[in-house]
Structure 1
Amino acid sequence: MDRKTLVATGLAAVTLCAGVLVAAPADAAAPAQKHTGQCSLVDKTLTATASVDQPLTDTFRSYAETGGGWTGADSTYSLPLRGGRTGWFFSDTFLGTVNPDGSRPKDSPFVNNSIVVQSAKEMSTVTGGTANAPEAIVPPETDGRWYWIGDPASGAKGTVQVPLLQFTKFGTGQWDWGWSANRLATLDGDTLTLQSVSDLPSATGINWGSWTLQDGRTTYIYGIKDIDGVRSAHVARTTDGKGLAGAWTYWDGEGWSDAEADAVAVAPYVSNEFSVARYKDGYLMITQDTSELFSTRIVARTSCSPIGPFGDEVELYRTPETGIFGSYGDADVFTYNAHEHPEMRKGDRLLVTYNVNTFDNVGDVYDDASIYRPRFVDVQLSATE
């Protein structure tokens, strides 16, 4: 692969989880803001037990190892699709096959985003391009800009809306690339082919699309930004039933402003990808803790409102793969970007995923294809007085 591809392959995750690469002050917090709404959830004690979701783990491993087309990726968002299908939306993706010994061929195709469609009977991989020359669902621009995906949402007339993070190469060095804009892809709801790409608000440097929460005609859009070394969540919304394509306003700590510059942080120490969903009579945020370097902690916070304030962290799970003392015994391996899949929740049983990657992007990801794949965790959560 060329140099750009190598950077995007192994080092995409470095950018995506960059919040764990810088130690933040222990007393950092989101700005004070007024409480919105009342609920009993924030006064309850959360406890959790968690274990590997073996059926989903086996399903994706089998699919990857039997030549289905997808062999590993990150981001791991999901969305119910027409016909009872589930779309699993991924950013940087390896295609092709896996060798009998579990390694990945060095000439494996690589694209910056893809979708695995799961039905009751089968799984299939959706990309752009052709079978012989696959491309991303949203391919790179002619000038080399490429896209990672955010949390998809249901759009008008059965379409699928996918927030995008655009990245641009700005120099000749290995690390000379970075986020340059937020954009929105609209896909056909049946075929998942690309219909259009349009601009999203990008003036303030907030990476919008970490999560979307649809509630009737209102869509909340979550994004992240580093503030004094602390990766913090921000919230925008549309209320016109157009999803991410509607008119955006931004939570400023007191109300909703038309100016993106007024958006304030609502929670510190989140990862680039996290989730916010209704739970009991309140809301549940799930994220990887980024207050410590290369954190293995997946945590939950509660609120009475989708805009916070969010309470103290409660640990749900510790990822076992990270570092020299992890399950791979490899100092280069790390985990990142945990979030829930609320549409798969069964009562108090939650499905949480996170991603695994390695800093050795020319060795490990080829020597052991299992490293660069999502992990699936069942979390049994309880909220007691």
Structure 2
Amino acid sequence: MQKTKKQNILAASAFAFASLLMAGCTSNTEKPAEEKKQLSLDSVSFTAEEAPEWSRLFKRTFGWFGGDGIFAVTRNGRENPNSSAGSETIIWFSDTMLGEIGEDGKLKPGYEMIHNSISVLKGSEPDSNRINFYWPKESGKNKSLFVPNTPGTGADEYYWMGDGFVNQARNNDLYIFGYRIKDTHDGSPFPFKEMGNTLVVLPGNSQPPFTSQRQIDIPFFLGKKVDSTGSFGAGIFVNTKEAGATDPDGYVYVYGIRGMKKELMIARVEPASIEDFGQWRFFDGNGWTNDLTKIKTVTDSLSNELGMMRLKDGRYALVFQEEGLGKYVAMRLSNSPVGPFGKVIRLFDCSASVAEDKDFFPYNAKVHPVLSQPNELLISYNVNSFDFFNDVKEHPQLYRPRFVRVKINE
């Protein structure tokens, strides 16, 4: 009897111990139901509205009064939402208009265009007293801030600027992608073509107008027709711990656009190796390869400039202008920086901004994570005209960024 009782106690103890082991094992391997649920890549609950306080920041009447190609980074290299609150924000533009707009709203004689410029905003608020615009002058003449000066540069080329990042692995130097552009004078609506791709490097903590800079040819498509090969620099996602990424893997993801369908191609590299092009890897649809010829495009209907931001729920939001010049600011969602990407989600109709003239069009929408909130995307898009040099005289403030605020509902 004593033996049986003892056996029962031992058996019960063993069962209890095994149950604890199983419970412990279960708690380590099983995810809560809410974590198991896969969020949709084809839909999201959101509200969208204009952000007039940000649009007004770039509505100016003297000096710098217009520009496109707007990209923004913090000087300290943080890329996560609202990181601008603790740092200066460097904002750069491509083609830039300089001059004076009269009280009648018309452009005064003497205006001019340079090909790029920069501004510095102190803090995270759109305060006109805390932003300054910069471009160099030589002998009293306005000049572009960045001028192509690489072995691959041809005659009469100029820069439009792509995305960039502050490289904390290389002395906080600012790396900006440059597009070498040449006018074609062929009478087409877009009388220019891209000739090649470079990196423009500004020393860490240097000040405008950044006279000390290095320029490096990107060799991948050097000497080839960019119309068919595409180029890199349309957008960047810095997925490093130092930049504030929530799930860092130590890489900078560099997005490029190829062809008329605006297809997305992706490269990545560790920040410290950004100038060693042999260390770059290219996404082939399944993984990473050092063979550029195997790169695959992963989605389409995008724009030549775009932005990537990780949402609070873990999804990645790729923001762009639908089909390049479409009327919608749009987004595709993914569970990783490389896809697969969901369907186009239209966020905002830009029609009101271009209704004044039949030649006006919106383009190159992108999210600015450093100026956004964790679940609130601050997005800019540009407005231009197919008859630009005539329309800008009558509507001189058409050519500037407009801003939209998109709130993701939790």
TM range (shorter): 0.7 to 0.9
**In the aligned structure 2, how far is the partner of 1:240 from the partner of 1:94?**
34
Q: Gaps (5+ residues) in structure 1?
A: 1-37
SS at match of 1:372: coil
CA distance in 2, matches of 1:239, 1:39: 32
Aligned equivalents of 1:311, 1:374: Cα separation in 2: 27
- Indicate conservation of the 8 Å contact 1:219/1:244, yes or no: no
The Cα of 1:241 is off from its aligned counterpart by 2.9
Aligned to 2:348: 317
> Which of the pair is proportionally richer in strand?
1
Q: Distance in 1 between matches of 2:396 and 2:200?
A: 29
Q: Which SS does the other structure have where 2:399 is aligned?
A: coil
Residue 195 (structure 1) aligns with: 213
2:97–2:113 CA contact under 8 A, matched in 1: yes
Q: What SS is found at the alignment partner of 1:139?
A: coil
Which structure has the bigger radius of gyration? 2
Give the TM-score normalised by the residue count of structure 2: 0.75
> 8 Å contact 2:42–2:333 — kept in the other structure?
no
**What does residue range 349-364 of structure 1 map to in structure 2 within 5 Å?**
349-364=376-391
Take 1:244 and 1:287, find their aligned partners in 2: how far apart are those partners? 27
Counterpart for residue 58 of structure 1: 56
Please point out which of 279, 286, 296 is paired with 2:327: 296
2:210 is the alignment partner of 1:179: no
Q: Deviations over 1:284-318 (max 9, x none)?
A: 11111118xx4211111111110111001221100
Cα distance change of structure 1 residues 321 and 357 upon mapping to structure 2, 3 Å threshold? farther
Q: Distance in 1 between matches of 2:271 and 2:91?
A: 27
What SS does the corresponding residue of 1:268 show, helix, strand or coil? coil
- Over aligned residues, Cα RMSD in angstroms? 2.3
Give the distance between the partners of 2:115 and 2:157, measured in 1 at CA. 11
1:15-30 superposed matches below 5 A: none
Q: Structure 2 counterpart of 1:116, which letter?
A: S
Aligned mates of 2:343, 2:293 — CA distance in 1: 27
Looking at structure 1, the residues matched to 197 and 148 of structure 2 have their Cα atoms a distance apart, in angstroms, of 14
Q: Give how far 1:245 is off.
A: 5.9
1:92-121 deviation line (CA, Å, top 9, x unaligned): 001232222222234213211111111245
Aligned mates of 2:404, 2:185 — CA distance in 1: 40
Instruction: Give the equivalent residue in structure 1 for 2:46.
Output: 48
Aligned residues: 333
Separation of aligned partners in 1, 2:109 and 2:38? 54
**In structure 2, which of residues 295, 299, 304 is the aligned counterpart of residue 267 of structure 1?**
299
* CA positional deviation for 1:133: 1.4
Are 1:132 and 2:140 an aligned pair?
Answer: yes
CA distance in 2, matches of 1:277, 1:53: 18
RCO greater where, 1 or 2, for CA within 8 Å and sep 6 or more? Answer: 1
Cα distance, 1:364–1:236 mapped onto 2, change above 3 Å: same
1:103-118 paired onto structure 2 within 5 Å: 103-118=106-121
| TM-score, normalization by structure 1 | 0.80
Task: Give unmatched runs, 5+ long, in structure 2.
Answer: 1-35, 77-85, 124-128, 241-249
The residue aligned with 1:255 is 287
Question: What residue in structure 2 maps to residue 209 of structure 1?
Answer: 233
Task: Give the C-alpha shift of residue 320 in structure 1.
Answer: 2.5
- How many Å separate the matches in 1 of 2:182 and 2:42? 45
